[in-house]
Amino acid sequence: MKVVVAGGFGAWARELPGAAVVNLAGELVDRRPTRANVELLTRSRVEPTRALARAAADLDAPVPVWLQAGTLAVHGDAGEAEVAESSPSADGPAQMAGVARWGLGLPAGAELEGTEPPRGVLVASSPTPVRNAELMAALRRVLRRPPAPPTPALAVRAGSVLLRTDPALGLTGRRAVPAALLAAGFPFAFPRLEPALSDLLT
């Protein structure tokens, strides 16, 4: 099976028949949440997706697999609440703007290639989510760095101005679980954080 990674416009359209489509198009989210940036993030995702949908609609048969990058930010800052595929999404401009800020899909897309993936919305995350504090502690252990105190929220907001990024990327979150993949028996190579970090960084 051919795999087409969509991210632009042009000759790729003739490759669609019989192809598995993995759409990860979009500008990086690491930027200030200004109106212009939110518009850029939205447009960079919506326009390629619409182009793919238009091209796929002209095919004699639908593409067999379509993995579309999405976002968990539609659930807002969920805190300790567990978020899965069936969880209701939040309404309002802030949550909808968040659709453009988070991209998911690459790990699931790469690992599901050649198999029959579950259909519908998939949460592409670890089955054992952790808080930011646990992530940073594990990262320091793997990199053999000493412990460090947490960064106050005010310092994160101030630093985000200097770094020209969105403080919400570090101050909000959601406890996401890949319920559909777990129900389908998907084998996670690294279901826990620290072994995954060790494999990536050592």
Domain ranges of the chain: 3-201
pLDDT in tens, 53-88: 888 888 888 888 888 787 777 788 888 888 888 887
* Predicted pLDDT at 105: 35
Pick the CATH number of 3-201 from 3.50.50.60, 3.40.50.720, 3.40.140.10, 1.10.10.10: 3.40.50.720
Residue 108 has pLDDT above 70, yes or no: no
Whether 155 has a pLDDT exceeding 90, the answer reads yes
- Tell whether pTM > 0.75: no
Average pLDDT of the segment spanning 162-181? 89
3-state secondary structure the chain: CCEEEECCCCHHHHHCCCCEEEECCCCCCCCCCCHHHHHHHHHHHHHHHHHHHHHHHCCCCCCCEEEECECCHHHCCCEEEEECCCCCCCCCHHHHHHCCCCCECHHHHHHHCCCCCCCCCCCCCCCCCCCHHHHHHHHHHHCCCCCCCCCCHHHHHHHHHHHCCCCHHHHCCEEECCHHHHHCCCCCCCCCHHHHHHHHHC
